Amino acid sequence: MEVSRRRFLSIGPVGVLGGSALGFDLTESINVKQRLRIEGATLAHSLCPYCAVGCSIIAYTRKAANGRTELLQIEGDPDSPVNEGTLCPKGATSLQLAVSRRRVPQPLYRAPGAAGWTKVSWEFMLDRLARNIKASRDATFVTQDAEGNVVNRCEGIAFAGGAAFSSEEGYLATKLMRGLGLVHLEQQARV
């Protein structure tokens, strides 16, 4: 059978490589590849947790043997008009936010002068945090500036919001920090 240039191009690379003319057939390996990792997974649409652009992502999950939901893969949503299936480097690694082996699952506390960290309860850590914020705010709260103007601000605490903040979390954090009188605020999703 004579193969013209037009016929060769219409077959496409998969057809050419999958054909027996080259001596091997990739059909089976292509089918196996499609069944790997996300076979039988539940598809969920979500938004990237980093900046305020709002890139759509697709998360593939599956129920594990112990009944917990296991996150398998995250990729850009090709149907999104915002990112058209692409993700920036931070968004592409967002899977690590949930499944990293290095993620600390509970609070750790190092007492003054201690050599190491100890596991503590959330109740202990939140109480300690609240007490430290209150003490610092009380010690550094300014009611009037040098010219006698009422300012009511806390100059002893600064707040830096993480890059994983969504716009809504950034808004809430800003409201909370402004309510405490903070003037030194910074975060990626500025409000």
CATH of the domain at 82: 2.20.25.90
Indicate the residue type of 32: V
How many domains is the chain built from?
3
In a domain, 172, yes or no: yes
- Give me the pLDDT at residue 53, please: 81
Evaluate whether residue 24 is within a structural domain: no
CA distance 157 to 181: 9
Cα dihedral 178/184/186/191 (nearest 10): 30
| Domain, as residue range, for 186 | 140-190
Residues 46 and 89 in one domain: yes
What separation, in Å, do the N-terminal and C-terminal C-alpha atoms of the chain show?
A: 68
Q: What is the pLDDT of residue 191?
A: 42
Q: Would 122 be classed as within a structural domain? A: yes
Residue 158 and residue 185 share a domain: yes
Predicted pLDDT of residue 54: 82
What pLDDT does 7 receive?
Answer: 64
Whether residue 92 is found in the same domain as residue 55: yes
Contact predicate 187/161, CB 8 Å? yes
Q: How far is CA 174 from CA 73, 105, 140, 171, in A?
A: 32, 26, 19, 5
Low-confidence ranges of the chain (pLDDT < 70): 1-26, 30-35, 52, 163-164, 166, 188-191
Confirm whether 62 is domain-assigned: yes
Residues near 117 by beta carbon (within 8 Å), at least 6 away in sequence: 108, 109, 110
Same domain? 50 vs 77: yes
Task: Name residue 19's amino acid.
Answer: G
Q: What is the distance of C-alpha 27 from the center of its chain?
A: 36
pLDDT attached to residue 167? 73
Widest distance between CA atoms in the chain = 96
- Give residue 75's identity as a one-letter amino acid code: E
CA proximity to 1, closest of 13, 19, 14: 19
Domain co-membership, 133 together with 144: no
pLDDT of residue 110: 96
The answer as to whether 28 is a domain residue is no
Please indicate, yes or no, whether residues 86 and 76 belong to a single structural domain of this protein: yes
Same domain, residue pair 58 and 88 = yes
* Strands, E assignment, the chain: 42-47, 56-63, 69-76, 108-109, 118-119, 141-144, 150-161, 182-187
Pair 46, 84 in one domain: yes
4 is a domain residue:
no
Q: What is the pLDDT of residue 184?
A: 92
